[in-house]
Amino acid sequence: MTGIRTEMGHNKYTGDLRDVTRYTAGNVQINIAKHSGYCWGVDRAYEQTVATANTKDGPVYTFGPLIHNPQTIDLLNSKYGVDYIEEVDDERAQEGSTVIIRTHGVPPEVQDQFRDKGAEVIDATCPYVRVTQNYAQLLHKQKYHVVIIGDPKHPEVISILAYAKGEGTVIKGMQDIDKIPKNKRRLGVVVQSTLILKKVNEIVNALLARAQEVRVFNTICYVTTERQEDAETIAKQNDHVIVIGGKASSNTKKLAIVAESFGAKAQLIEKPQEIDFAELKEAKRIGILAGASTPNWLIDRARDMLIEHFTKVAVAS
C-alpha cells in the first residue's frame, strides 16, 4: 500500500491526494478536488483481494460487492477472476474456496457460517467500520439502547446493528426519532461513516431532549469529512460540479448534496460517458468530486473527456 504521511505521530493515508488539480480547456477551467480516488479502507480491501486472488489456488469470492463501484467489481472479475456471492448458502462457498468480507462489514455470525462450510474467510471490513461495530457492541453490553444514525438498508448499518444483537433503533432522519421506545432513557449513539455532520448534530440534539442519558460516538470517517469539506470548496469555486461514483455509494451521494447546498449545479454520474455536456454549455468553471470508492483512472477519464470536449468547442468557435 502506498502513500502514507505522518502527522503528530500517526500515519495517514495520502494515496487520495492529487498532485495536479487544475486544468484548462479552451475557455473552461476544470478543478479536481484535492482528495479523490480510493480512500484508505477501499484501497486496503482492493489490495487484499488482488493479493488473495494471485496467491490462492481455489476460487476467491467477495461476500456482496467488495465496494460500491461497479467498474472496480467488473475489473476484479475480468482480470482476477473474483466474483461475488450474495448468500451464505451459495454452494460455491465451500472447502477450498476463499470468501472476502466486503468493506461495509457483515453480521458476526456470517463469518462463522462460511467457516463452518469449510471456506477460508478474509475480513476486509474497513477498520473505521470495525470501530463502529465495536462501539455498538460495547454500548449494548453496557445496557444502553443502541441508536444508529444511518440508512437502515445500507450494509454497513445492517452489520453495525448486528453487533448490538439486533437490539437497537436505526434513525435515518428526524422523522424516525419516535421509533425509539419511550421507555429507553439511556441511549448509546453511533453513526454511519459517510453521513453529513450537520444532519447528525440535529438528530443528536433531539435525542438529548428526550433521554436521561445520551452517550455519543462520532464515527463519521475522517475521509468523509475531508471530502465533504472539499465539496464545499469546489462548489464555491465552480459553477458546475461533476460527482463521480457508484449509484449505490452513500458517500458519493452526500458529496452531490453538499455541492448543491452551496449553490453549484451538480451532475451525479457513475461513468464519464454519462456526462451531460448540454448542461455544461454555459459553464466557465467545472469542479470534479469523487466518492471514496471511485478509482483514479475513472476520474482521469472524466477529466480527459471534459478537456477534449471543451478544447474542440474552443477550436470550432
Catalytic, out of 86, 91, 120, 156? 156
Taking the C-alpha atoms of residue 309 and residue 22, their distance in angstroms, rounded to an integer, is 16
DSSP 55: H
DSSP 27: T
- Cα–Cα separations (whole angstroms), residue 135 to 34, 100, 127, 138, 299: 31, 23, 12, 5, 35
In this structure, are residues 47 and 76 in contact, taking their beta carbons and an 8 Å threshold? Answer: no
How far from chain centre, in Å, is Cα 30?
Answer: 24
**Catalytic residue flag (residue 232):** no
Closest CA to 197 of 166, 215, 230, 219: 219
In 3-state terms the chain splits into helix, strand, coil percentages (rounded to 5) of 40, 20, 35
Q: Which contiguous run of DSSP H or E holds residue 308?
A: helix 296-316
| Amino acid identity for residue 226 in this structure | E
The residue with cell 464519464 is 272
Closest CA to 290 of 239, 238, 254, 236: 254
Strands 28-32 and 22-25: antiparallel
In this structure, are residues 13 and 2 in contact, taking their beta carbons and an 8 Å threshold? Answer: no
In this structure, are residues 153 and 179 in contact, taking their beta carbons and an 8 Å threshold? Answer: no
3-state secondary structure of 71: helix
Tell the burial category of 91 from Cβ atoms under 10 Å away from its Cβ (0-12, 13-18, 19+): exposed
In this structure, are residues 110 and 100 in contact, taking their beta carbons and an 8 Å threshold? Answer: no
Q: Which residues lie closer than 8 Å to 99 by C-beta, 6 or more apart?
A: 61, 62, 63, 85, 93, 114, 119, 120, 121, 122
Q: Which residues are catalytic?
A: 156
